[in-house]
Every structure is written in C-alpha cells, then in structure tokens.
Amino acid sequence: MPLRSEGAVGSEPGGLRAADERAPGLLLGEGVELPESVAVGGHVVIHAGTVVGEGCRLGDGAVLGRPPALGPRSTAPRAAPPPLAVEPGAAVGAGAVVLAGARIGERAVVGDQAHVRERGRVGEESVVGRGSAVDNDVTIGARVKVQTHCYLTAWSEVEDDVFVGPGTVTMNDHAMGRHARDEPLRGVVLRRACRIGGAAALLPGIEVGEEAYVAAGALVTRSVAPRAVVMGAPARPIREVSNEDLLERWSV
C-alpha cells in the first residue's frame, strides 16, 4: 500500500509528521501520498499537498514543496502557490530544494543541491545540474540540459533542447534593485536548441535565437540571431552555425 500522511503527528516543525517506517528521518506534510514505487532516501522532507508520481527517486535530504520565504522588499508575487507536482519517473537529488508551485516533468532530473523556486517549470527529460538555481516563474522546456552551478533568473524562458553550460549566469534587472516596485523585470529567452557555453553571462531581456551558439565566457549584451555564433566581451557574431551542426543531424 502507498504511504499516506493524514495530518501532523507529534511535535515535528511545519505540520510535518515522521514516517520512519518508509525511510529514516522521512517527514511528511498533510495529505502527502507516496506510491510504493517511489525510492526515498534518508531525511527527506515533503510538505503538505505535494504530489509525487510513480517511480520517482528522492535523494537524501531533499526538501519538496516548501512554501517560499520572500524578503520584505521582494517584488515576486505573494499569492500562495499551488502544491508542488513531481511527475512520474522524475528524480530530485540529495539536498535539493523544490518549492511549492513548481512542476518537475516526467523523467526530469533536479541534481544534488539544486534549487527550483515557486512556479518554476522543468520539462520532461530535462536536467538541472548540481548546485544550479531555477528562479521563480522560469519555464524550462523538454530535454534541456542545464549544467552545474548555473543561475536561471526569474521570468526567463528556456525552450526545448537547449544546452546551458556550467556556471552560466542570467540577469533580469538593469537597475540592480533601483527601480519602481511595479516595474516588470525581464529575464532571458533561450530559443529551441540554442547552446550557451560555460561561464557565459546574459544581460536582462536578451533573446538567444534558435540553434544559436554562445561561446564560453561570452558577455551577451545584445540579442543573438538564430544560428549565429557569438563570442567575446561584449559578444559579437563571427559566423553562422553550419547545417552539419544543427540538432536534427545529431538527433536521428
């Protein structure tokens, strides 16, 4: 029988109850149901309402469905998000934190010590690498590869089959906090099958076109045309991605 939490028991924090019969140190919030096919590591915390699909894997110390904690001057939406949904076959690594309101797609992987904020979306078969951060209201498509220690800033969109190299940083605030509270922030848009090299930095509002290639260490200050190859600081186009290097040739 699947394990189901009917409510808080004892003195565990945040309305959580111990479920050591399933895994050492497991804490479950009200209404959480774990199918028998879910593999659970030690000291996992699953907050109230979180939905975990069949065949998921939860690493040691993972925290699922925690409500967001916003600073007093944060401009992020303050409405209570819906419960976290982790779809069948997905994996959440050791020490990873995935907040309420997020959705992790089928067979997606959130790596060890990664962080996915409220309303973040990680598409099917996508990977968020170790120590990477997916900020609030970020949408990641299917089969995306986000490598180690990347930061995807709030309000960004990453389409299907994108590659984001290790240490990539994206930004959404030209004024660095010195703007009206109602002024919208602009994340980046990474179009289908584009590739971002390691340690690249992308300024607010940048769009990288379909099948474009951003070289490692580039500082991207202007949007990048589809299939363009850019490099440098600031990044400048040097050529076009060849037909032989397009995704279709490598996905047969």
Q: For the chain, give every domain's residue range.
A: 1-68+80-134, 144-241
Domains 1-68+80-134 and 144-241 belong to one CATH topology: yes
Q: Which amino acid appears at position 86 of this protein? A: V
Residue count of the chain: 252
What does the pLDDT profile of the chain (252 residues) look like in tens digits?
Answer: 566 655 443 334 467 999 888 999 999 999 999 999 999 999 999 999 999 999 999 999 999 999 998 888 787 788 889 999 999 999 999 999 999 999 999 999 999 999 999 999 999 999 999 999 999 999 999 999 999 999 999 999 999 999 999 999 999 999 998 888 888 899 999 999 999 999 999 999 999 999 999 999 999 999 999 999 999 999 999 999 999 999 987 765
Between the alpha carbon of residue 33 and those of residues 37, 122, 251, the distances in Å are 12, 22, 37
Give the single-character DSSP code of 83. Answer: P
Burial readout 77-90 (b: 16 or more C-beta within 10 A, e: otherwise): eeeebebbbbbbbb
CATH code of the domain occupying 144-241: 2.160.10.10
CATH code of the domain occupying 1-68+80-134: 2.160.10.10
